[in-house]
Amino acid sequence: MTSIQIRIADSAGFCWGVERALRLARDAAAGAEGPIHTLGPLIHNPAVIAQLSEQGIDVLEELGDKATGTAIIRSHGVPNDVLQGLMARDLTLVDATCSFVKAAQEKAARLREEGYLVVILGEPTHPEVLGIRSYAGPDSLVVEGPSDLPSRLPKRKVGVVVQTTQSHERLIALVTDLLPRVRELRIHNTICNATERRQAAALAMADTVDLVVVVGGRNSGNTTRLAEICSAVQPRTYHVESADEVDPAWLEGVHMVGVTAGASTPPEQIQAVVARLKEYAE
């Protein structure tokens, strides 16, 4: 196996919001007196969560009544009632909710106030979507595509907001379906620009290589979306969490490998995968 080249996507790995959340968490841990918790994993990357645990930052799915110390809200945000409950407690609160997520929450709340039926394009059980839905109201709909819409929509004006890590293709498919079915449709494209840049760079790269390796947590929605986007143009696309998952057999007959990574993937994980690919390519 000779002369395999490796190309890393122009935009890959940690985004601004994740870097900020990690900085806030580490700063809080450095100055904290008492226990320090994140509500759910700070980011969807098991290796990073293990490092934070070594720094004394524990993951709690729910803060029990007796929890003390510092609570960190992750970049995905939390439902409004959870936020209000946290603010009412005797805890030090560090809010690392990404500003793009806050914007999606605010758009959902505004649509609700203005009488729109809010349709959220996103993964129904994803924490970010649960948070946005708390602002959109209990009658809001969460869909992953047009097939999740009810066959008969209520006779109301409809507003769309989008989980920040969704793809344009999914948004276009939803809007195309909705447009002929409602009298008024308002669309807030709340896909964040870090996601847009990573998806565009991954797509451009996937088109020029024989094999794509996407690096990041399997529980990371934006990493999974990158893998979907790359698979659509390059069927030889593999999603790995670590360099150990790279299989030398993938390189058979390959001249150019493309590597990309989700917004929650640290640079050292990308470099480890690249190093392993180089090792196998020699």
Report the interface residues with ligand SF4, using CB under 6 A.
15-18, 75, 98, 100-101, 164-165, 192, 194-195, 222, 263
| Catalytic residue (one of 62, 128, 196, 252) | 128
Residues 6+ positions from 218 with CB-CB distance below 8 Å = 224, 239, 241
- Find out whether 190 and 167 touch, Cβ atoms under 8 Å: no
Q: How far apart are CA 55 and CA 29, in angstroms?
A: 7
Structure tokens, 206: 């996937």
Q: Work out how close the CB of 14 gets to ligand SF4 at its nearest, in angstroms, rounded to a whole number.
A: 8
Q: Nearest-CB residue to ligand SF4?
A: 17
Using alpha carbons, list the distances in angstroms from residue 272 to 47, 195, 244.
Answer: 13, 23, 9
Shortest approach of ligand SF4 to residue 18 CB, angstroms? 5
Q: Is 128 an annotated catalytic residue?
A: yes
136 or 194, CB closer to ligand SF4?
A: 194
Output 38 or 222, the one with its CB closest to ligand SF4: 222
- Both structure tokens of 165: 């890590």
Q: Output 117 or 194, the one with its CB closest to ligand SF4.
A: 194
For residue 194, give the nearest of 66, 274, 104, 100 by alpha carbon: 100
| Structural contact between residues 199 and 229, judged by C-beta atoms closer than 8 angstroms | yes
Minimum CB separation of residue 17 from ligand SF4 in Å reads 3
Residues 68 and 33 sit within 8 Å (Cβ to Cβ): no
Q: Is the CB of 18 or the CB of 121 nearer to ligand SF4?
A: 18
- Closest distance of CB 198 from ligand SF4, Å: 8
Nearer to ligand SF4, 49 or 277 (CB): 49
User: Both tokens of residue 42?
Assistant: 């700070």
What are the C-alpha distances in Å from 68 to residues 35, 37, 59, 92, 134? 7, 9, 14, 8, 25
Rounded Cα gap, residues 15 and 264, in angstroms: 7
Q: Cβ 141 to ligand SF4, closest distance in Å?
A: 21
CA dihedral 135, 176, 12, 15 (to 10 degrees): -20
Shortest reach from residue 194's CB to ligand SF4, in Å: 4
CA distance 118 to 264: 28
- Distance between CA atoms of residues 68 and 91, nearest Å: 6
Nearer to ligand SF4, 99 or 242 (CB): 99
Could you give the residue numbers annotated as active site? Answer: 128
